[in-house]
Amino acid sequence: MQVLRDVALSELLWYRIGGTARYLLEARGRDDLCRAVEWVAAQRPDRVFVIGLGSNLVFPDGYFDGAVIRVVRDDGGSLCHLGDGRIEGYGGEVLDRVIRFAFDEGLVGLEWAGGLPGTLGAAVRGNVGAFGGEMTDCLESAEVVALGEPGDAVRTLSHADLAFAYRDSYVKRAGNLIVLSATLALEPADPARLASARETYEANVRYRHSRHPMELPNCGSVFKNIHRREQVERVLAVWPDIEERVRNDWHGKVSMGYIISRLGLAGYQVGRARVSEKHNNFIVNLGGARAADVRAIIARIQAAVEATFGFVPEVEIELID
Ligand SMILES: Cc1cc2nc3c(=O)[nH]c(=O)nc-3n(C[C@H](O)[C@H](O)[C@H](O)COP(=O)(O)OP(=O)(O)OC[C@H]3O[C@@H](n4cnc5c(N)ncnc54)[C@H](O)[C@@H]3O)c2cc1C
């Protein structure tokens, strides 16, 4: 396990935003990760933060006086077909590698995640989902290692232990657990089904490239769509003309992209961060954006929504203090 000092996080994180970390612990496999946890127990840095690809994070601009553990391995080398459609892999494997490994082994069930950036471990933690699929649908168990717990800190959590909920899991709620490995239960498929799953995967990747501003660094959808009944009603009280879209197009929710656009904030820019015109619920980094720029845009959107409807929309990305 490599321990690097004074590392510019903006060079590592997907969003290309973030200051300098005092220590970066590179955990490219399970032994590395266990050593990183031991290092933290011995050195007791003031702060510890775990990152994967950083595709959902806005890291602060200043000095991070602590240790960042980077759980990333992107060569597919830890993946193993255990038989019966079960795949095991290190938590740092990039999800896309896992999907392609599964296809090569004749297995389907992960194609919904085509084009979704991130690592296997973060996907388990956040129960990521897209196009009707979610991690909980195919996750059998996960090995986790606990930061700051004495003794042998590795344990296996079953699907039931992981207690998945919408974009949530026991790992996320516990706060000090790192996903060391995960075992997925996928389905063996005949050639026709495999070909169809590959097509679905490709279509999902294409959809993301056509709808999302993938050409610029971003961190996914910034706000959750409005889903609480009373908030949907408040929006409809001000904009009754969108009732049909809420019912038919947005499954009872109100699209935050739509709200941002209708409030005139598409293209709103602070510093080098800008509300994407391609998808208004994304804030892109035009190059050299700072966390403070992104936060200022978020605050502006929240203020406009509050002034119009009387509530503050919830942020979906992780803003680190
Ligand atoms: C263009 C774009 C589209 C996206 N679309 C979707 C989508 O459709 N659906 C969806 O659900 N998400 C989506 N996201 C969000 C993102 O892909 C997920 O949150 C993903 O799981 C983040 O993975 P990561 O490796 O980048 O994690 P990071 O962003 O590095 O970290 C996210 C969180 O996971 C924790 N973490 C990282 N690794 C581990 C580990 N091994 N063990 C425990 N905790 C860990 C971190 O501490 C942090 O709290 C999108 C993001 C982008 C940029």
The one catalytic residue among 55, 78, 181, 221 = 221
Helix (H, G, I), strand (E, B) or coil at 183: strand
Helix (H, G, I), strand (E, B) or coil at 240: helix
Helices assigned H by DSSP within 17-94: 30-43
Domain boundaries of the chain, sorted by first residue? 2-71, 79-208, 216-319
Q: Give how far the C-alpha of residue 42 lies from the chain's centroid of Cα atoms, to the nearest Å.
A: 30
Residue pair 222/316 in contact by the 8 Å Cβ criterion = yes
Give the C-alpha separation, 13 to 49, whole Å: 13
Closest CA to 182 of 69, 98, 109, 117: 98
- Please determine, looking at this structure, whether the domain spanning 216-319 carries the CATH number 3.90.78.10: yes
The reported pLDDT for the residue numbered 309 is 98
- Which residue's CA is the nearest one to ligand 1's atom 51? 220
Which residue type, as a one-letter code, is found at position 110? L
**Residue 151 predicted with pLDDT over 70:** no
Closest CA to 7 of 51, 57, 40: 51
pTM: 0.95
Distance from Cα 133 to the centre of ligand 1, integer Å? 15
169: Cα within 13 Å, side-chain hemisphere? 29
Distance from Cα 199 to the centre of ligand 1, integer Å? 24
Whole-number CA gyration radius for the chain: 20
Distance from Cα 278 to the centre of ligand 1, integer Å? 21
Mean local confidence (pLDDT), 109-133: 96
The CA-CA-CA angle for residues 268, 272, 277, to 5°, reads: 40
pLDDT more than 70, % of the chain: 99
**Residue 202 predicted with pLDDT over 70:** yes
Give the C-alpha separation, 107 to 83, whole Å: 11
Domain 79-208 fold:
3.30.465
| Count of Cβ atoms closer than 10 Å to residue 247 Cβ | 10
**Residue 148 predicted with pLDDT over 90:** no
Domain 2-71 fold:
3.30.43
Give the C-alpha separation, 191 to 157, whole Å: 33
